[in-house]
Amino acid sequence: MPYTLGQAAKATGKTKPTIAHAIKTGRISATRTDTGEWSIDPAELHRVYPPLPGKSSPVSDAVKPQLQEEAIRELIELRSQNKALETELRVKDDLLRQVEGERDNLREQNTRITALLAAPKPDRFAELEEKLAATLARFEAEEPPPPPVKSIAEEKANRGIIARLFRRSA
């Protein structure tokens, strides 16, 4: 419900000429009615001149229950959104703790692996290489043994079955 010039002056504690001057200079937008009175939107008036504390205007009395209902609905919606955001935050905090735990485990594994790689290796292979080299040197230094001499009895025993059957001597 728009203000008239007199209602606007009472709602702000200003004089009618002050409000009229603000309208004429363009600080406040207002329109003229068919009867020639000014029609001033309350939001436009209070954008420039704040309402007097403790004074209620005819507009605010009519709009007050609607504003309260709207404020209650908005409060309920904001609480719902707040609860959803708190839940999402808890989930993300849990996920962050899990990722930090995994990071710490990987860091610990990395430290252990680095320590193992940096540790001196046992010289087991060096000892084996030395033994192998000594054995090879001994083997190369020795003369090969002469081929074994076969006795006649061994040669006869080694003859094949056909030669034995037909009593051929080799």
Three-class SS state of 116: helix
Instruction: Kindly report each contact of residues 85-92 with a partner whose C-beta sits within 8 Å and lies 24 or more positions away, as own/partner.
Output: none
Which DSSP symbol is given to 122? P
pTM of the complete model: 0.34
pLDDT tens across 73-115, in order? 999 999 999 999 999 999 999 999 999 999 999 999 999 998 8
pLDDT at 58: 54
